[in-house]
Amino acid sequence: MGNEPIHTAKSIREMIKERGYNYLYLPYYSPELNPIEQFWSILESAIKREFVLKKGSISAKVKESTKNIPQSALDRFAHYSVERFDGCLLERPI
């Protein structure tokens, strides 16, 4: 998880533990270790492109753009982040 206040709140930590999960805080400024950052980057680009071309609600654009990101891209985001994370554990530079 990132180190944002919402992620470090006691209630969030307790909820994660209650559901049987563990958590690990990522270093600051390490988007390559977090697949969701890669997803947001692609989504943000798509929304900006759409916004210029069409008018409409931002939530509709997010939903539409999300549908256009293939599962294979999500798999790549996760694979990339795991490789980088494993490298960090071995103390290799990112």
pLDDT in tens, 31-71: 888 888 899 999 988 887 766 666 667 788 888 889 989 99
The tokens describing 47, both together, are: 């929304």
Mean of pLDDT values over 78-90: 85
Q: Where are the alpha helices (DSSP H) in 1-94?
A: 5-8, 10-18, 35-53, 58-67, 71-89
CB 73 within 8 A of CB 79: no
CB 44 within 8 A of CB 51: no
Q: Reduced to 3 states, what is the DSSP secondary structure of residue 8?
A: helix
Q: What predicted TM-score, i.e. pTM, was given to this entire model?
A: 0.60
- For the chain, which residues make up each domain, given as ranges? 28-89
